[in-house]
Structure 1
Amino acid sequence: MQASSGRRALGIALAVAALQMVMLVAFAWPAARSAPHDLPIAVTGPQAAAVADRLAGQGGFAVETLPDEAAARQALRDREVYGAIVTAPAGPKVLVASGASPAVAQQIGQYAATLSGAPAPPVTDVVPAGEHGAAFASLALPLVMSGIAGGALLALLVRGTGPRLAGLAGVAVLGGLGSAALAQGWLGILDGSYLAVSGAIALAVAAISGTVLGLAALIGPPGVVVGALTMLLLGNPLSAAATAPELLPEPWGDLGQLLPPGAAATLLRSAGYFDGAAAARPLTVLAVWALAGTALVVLGGLRRPGGRTRDNGAPAAPAGA
């Protein structure tokens, strides 16, 4: 008996140590390897070609030459670039959009200083993140955790496809309205239209909760574990909510944008700071995940291993029985 308990204790210790290592890699590795990878940046002005060549030589930037400062400002508002360097005989100035990423905005200013030789070129924030915009990254994990909790609770406590889908809609809508009210009205993290922000949060919750619920409906309780680990250990670290997808090691930044947490962060920035600019891709990604989760819930309720099944997996009685 003691030998069996000892082996069990050793197995638990090894499993926990492995989990710790996985979580360390998942959460710390993207930050430890953070660097620009094809980061979109614009240059304009009389020395634009020379500056573009120097940026290209440094690597990590996707440089676009624009005709004038007005075009650079519009590119920032449209989320086509993260920043712009406007050259002039008196020295360069920097345009940034901290609403897209305060971390990237700071880095672009530092790069501009090295290019000009000046200690601090003037910086204009065309699309500011707001007074408390630096706290934007703190929204990501609560949305992921609450989305996982919503899907898990619906899977474990609610029976029937209709009630589960109704519960999923309620979790998403109420979560979106409530979270947007807190993020905008009390915390002051997000600007923009309240309905647009609440809709973005609702869709993100529907995508995360729907995936967890759908997997659970299809394969049972292990589906909750699979869905939770996908969103928490893969989706959340790769969401780039604190930085930008282009700062993550390739190809993980692109992968993160195809998962609900990353798409949600991008969509929230578009809705909260850019009046919906560049929202089409993350909106599509979240809609696909939400619809896929819904389809899995329906499919799980209609499994036919030789006959119609109830949601608890027991075969339904034949008609007339």
Structure 2
Amino acid sequence: MRRNPLAFGVLIAIAVVVAQALLIPLFAAPAANLAPRDLPLAVAGPPPVAQKLAAEHPGAFEITSVPDAASADRKIKDREVYGAIVVTAAGPEVHVASAASPAVAQLLTQAAAGLGSDVPVRDVVPVDPDDPRGAGFGAGFLPLAITSLLAGVLVFFLVPRRAARLVTLLTFAALAGLVGAAVQIGWLGILPGAYWAVAGVFALVTLAISAAVAGIAALIGREGLGLGAVVLFLIGNALSGIASAPELLPQPWGEVGQWLPIGAGGTLLRSVAYFGGSGAGFPATVLTAYAAGGLLLILIGRRGLVRKPASAPVESAPELVGAH
């Protein structure tokens, strides 16, 4: 049956517009509805302080009571809470960690105004001074995700053998980690030291995305590339919470984003670069699962798209014309 070019073109236009209609709220809705939702917060002070905070902001904070400022700071550095309200004899003060989330630090700083005039705000774990708003931290993940997705696609199309695919992906991840850390630490200076630890995070993130994309495609074919791009890149980027915090996104989407490589990668990088590895267990496990699962799918999936050489045309033997 012959395809009608006009009808097929109209169907393509409709499909793209439908995709656009779905993508706009996917990206815009979380950004437009940022608000604290069970945001972990420590309170050092009399019980009425925590009770008043919970009553004035129902559902906004998950409050943990601590005995003093030192305990509050310890929980901040262990990534158990994003900040703390400390009530002292001199009055209240707010402790934040801009390295955990500049958006949350700004939110808590603004909330300090409600506690009284001239409430001091102390940044317990600040961001790198060369990236004072933390914008470079979040922006650096987009090219990392794009190149990882591209690597997975290229490996599927251009590297047919299973063993060669594994070696290619592992080599790509190692080099991407070393170069990515060198650029962000040495060149741009938007991350603090710990070069090898940061390089390891970048390598794990790139391997998780590229191996998962190539592995899904190896298992189900070219359709897997589209599935991987939509879930791991588009949805994963929209729900990552890198620019804000998972607890500021509408739930359960903030939590869902932490089960995808970009969200888990952002959390792991913050933990390793600024908090000495505190809070790194869950995101490292998520990324390792994607990386190992993708490599396993490559081993059990198809060999790849290998074009068979076209058979040579059979030439007809010349007719023998007898001489007369």
Q: TM-score, normalised by structure 1?
A: 0.90
Aligned partner of 2:282 in structure 1 is: 281
SS of 1:159's equivalent in the other structure is: coil
Q: What is the alpha-carbon distance in structure 2 between the residues aligned to residue 290 and residue 229 of structure 1? A: 18
Q: Equivalents in 2 of 1:187, 1:26: separation in Å?
A: 31
Contact 2:156/2:305, CA 8 A, preserved across alignment: no
For 1:225-304, list aligned pairs within 5 A. 225-301=226-302
| 8 Å Cα contact 2:156/2:304 also seen in 1 | no
Tell me if 1:69 matches 2:69. Answer: yes
Residue pair 1:168, 1:210 contacting (<8 A) in 2 also: yes
Decide which moves more: 223-232 or 194-203: 223-232
1:312 positional shift: 4.2
State the partner residue of 1:194.
Answer: 195
Distance in 2, Cα, partners of 1:123 & 1:84: 10
Distance 2:76 2:159 in 1: 46
Q: Distance in 2 between matches of 1:149 and 1:282?
A: 23
C-alpha distance in 2, partners of 1:311/1:224? 12
Tell me the residue number matched to 2:222.
221
CA contact (8 A) 1:172 1:203 kept: yes
Question: Which string of whole-angstrom CA distances, capped at 9 and with x for unpartnered residues, describes residues 110-161 of structure 1?
Answer: 12221x132x421111101112133211022112111100100101111100
- Structure number, greater radius of gyration: 2
What is aligned with 2:320? none
DSSP-derived class of the 1:63 partner: strand
Give distance in 1, aligned partners of 2:119 and 2:42.
16
Residue 126 of structure 2 corresponds to which residue in structure 1? 128
Deviation at 1:18, TM superposition (A): 1.2
Alpha-carbon separation, structure 1, partners of 2:164 and 2:223: 21
For residues 7-18 of structure 1, what are the structure 2 equivalents within 5 Å? Answer: 7-18=7-18
**8 Å Cα contact 1:192/1:273 also seen in 2:** no
How many residues are matched?
A: 301
Distance between the aligned counterparts of 1:106 and 1:34, measured in 2? 13
Answer yes or no: is the 8 Å Cα contact 1:260–1:285 preserved in 2: yes
Distance 1:251 1:198 in 2: 31
Aligned residues of 2:267 and 2:283 also touching (Cα < 8 A): yes
Q: Distance in 2 between matches of 1:178 and 1:121?
A: 43
Q: Please name the residue that 1:183 is paired with.
A: 184
- SS of the equivalent of 1:87 reads strand
8 Å contact kept, 1:109–1:121: no
Cα distance, 1:90 vs. partner?
Answer: 2.8
Deviations 1:216-266 (A, max 9, x none): 111121111111111122111111000011011111111111111110000
Distance across 2 between alignment mates of 1:51 and 1:185: 44
Q: Do the aligned residues in 1 keep the contact of 2:160 with 2:306 (CA within 8 Å)? A: no
Matched, 1:30 2:34: no
| 1:101 alignment counterpart | 101
1:313 Cα deviation after fit: 8.0
Q: Distance in 1 between matches of 2:53 and 2:174?
A: 45
Q: Give, in whole Å, the separation in 1 of the partners of 2:248 and 2:21.
A: 23
Tell me, what secondary structure is at the counterpart of 2:140? helix
Shift in Å, 1:215: 0.8
2:91 match: secondary structure? coil
Shift of 1:6: 3.2
Normalising by structure 2, we get a TM-score of 0.89
Extract unaligned runs of 5+ from structure 2. Answer: 309-324
Partner of 1:162: 163
1:55 to 49, 53, 77: 53
Partner AA of 2:47 in structure 1: A
C-alpha spacing 1:314/1:16, structure 2 compared with 1 (3 Å): closer
Q: Please state whether the residue corresponding to 1:121 is helix, strand or coil.
A: coil
Q: State the alpha-carbon separation in 2 of the partners of residues 278 and 174 from structure 1.
A: 26
Give structure 1 stretches of 5+ with no counterpart.
302-309, 316-321
Q: How far apart, CA to CA, are the structure 2 residues paired with 1:311 and 1:216?
A: 9
Note the alpha carbon deviations across 1:63-82, whole angstroms, 9 max, x for none.
Answer: 11101111111111111110
Of Structure 1 and Structure 2, the greater helix share is in: 1
Write the distance in 1 (CA, Å) between the matches of 2:207 and 2:18: 31
Residues 37 and 247 in structure 2, CA contact (< 8 A), matched pair in contact too:
yes
**Structure-2 separation of matches of 1:40 and 1:75:** 10
Identity of aligned residues (%): 48
- Gap change, CA 1:156 and 1:6, over 3 Å in 2: same
Q: CA RMSD in A?
A: 1.7
